[in-house]
Amino acid sequence: AADLPIRVTHPEDGAILVAPPGSRARIPLRAALGSAPRPEARFEIDGRRVEGEAWELAAGPHRIVAIVDGRRSEESSFEVRTR
């Protein structure tokens, strides 16, 4: 399993999410090791650790990393737009 890649599965790399201005909407954060979901994964968005398994949407471009058993995924990116 050590050679399987850790990857962020939600939000997907390159995703564009849309939220109403002032929304407090939250999205689930998900990761996998190879194809196996890893619910114990922890996440960093824009270099800050996220508490829990959901994140409150904030407008702008973001970078996310999943951490499983001390191993970090490749960084992926997504964007939140307000309508």
Give pLDDT tens digits for 70-81.
999 999 999 999
Give the residue from 1, 12, 3, 2 showing the smallest Cα distance to 66. 12
Q: Tens digits of per-residue pLDDT, 8-52?
A: 999 999 999 999 888 899 999 999 999 999 999 999 999 999 998
The pLDDT value recorded for residue 22 is 85
Residue 50 has what pLDDT? 97
pLDDT at site 74:
96
Predicted TM-score of the model (pTM): 0.92
Amino acid present at 28? P
State the distance between the two ends of the chain, measured CA to CA, in whole angstroms.
Answer: 42
Tokens of 76: 């992926």
